[in-house]
Amino acid sequence: MTYAVQQDLVDRFGAESLAQLTDRDTGQVIDADVLGRALSDADAEIDSYLAARYGLPLASVPGILVRIAADIARYRLFADRATEAVRKRYEDAVRDLKLISAGTIVIDGAVSAALAPAERGGAVVQRSPDALFGSGTLASY
């Protein structure tokens, strides 16, 4: 599931800033492929937290996840050049994801993962080991 798109980042951070982060040649034009990879990485990071609590994909994307995805993608674009403000926004996003995963922050309308086993791969089956008997005595391993 995609939580944020290019326009969400443009609206939050500006086209010029994104061009400088994504266009490795001239810094003049947003490179959609570079930005798309950062957004995909953000989606994967978000899913890793949400899957503990909710069935995925979500039916709709709440605003909090758009903001979190934008902050994570931007942090990834900065790589090792992230400013303190960018790093703080990323850390806040991860904190919020941990709170969502713990159930402290609730995603309205999302289906609990406990109620959606088919979406998570099916039911869990547990088997006891087979008993080993021979000639009336317990067989040795």
Domain-located, residue 124: no
Q: What's the CA gap between 89 and 91, in Å, rounded?
A: 5
Domain-located, residue 48: yes
Residue-wise over 57-69: b if at least 16 C-beta within 10 A, else e? ebeebeebbbbbb
Domain-located, residue 121: no
Domain total for the chain?
1
Q: What is the DSSP letter of 130?
A: P
Domain-located, residue 96: yes
Q: Which two tokens stand for residue 90?
A: 């990323």
Reading the chain (141 residues) residue by residue, the pLDDT tens digits are 899 999 999 999 999 999 999 999 999 999 999 999 999 999 999 999 999 999 999 999 999 999 999 999 999 999 999 999 999 999 999 999 999 999 999 998 889 887 655 444 554 545 556 555 555 555 554
Domain-located, residue 57: yes
Q: What's the CA gap between 116 and 54, in Å, rounded?
A: 8
Domain-located, residue 128: no
Look up the pTM and report it.
0.80
Which residue blocks in 14-140 are alpha helix, DSSP H? Answer: 15-22, 32-50, 63-78, 84-102
Q: Which two tokens stand for residue 135?
A: 């000639």
Domain interval for residue 76: 6-106
Domain-located, residue 10: yes
Q: What's the CA gap between 110 and 47, in Å, rounded?
A: 13
Q: Please count the other Cβ atoms lying within 10 Å of the Cβ belonging to residue 141.
A: 4
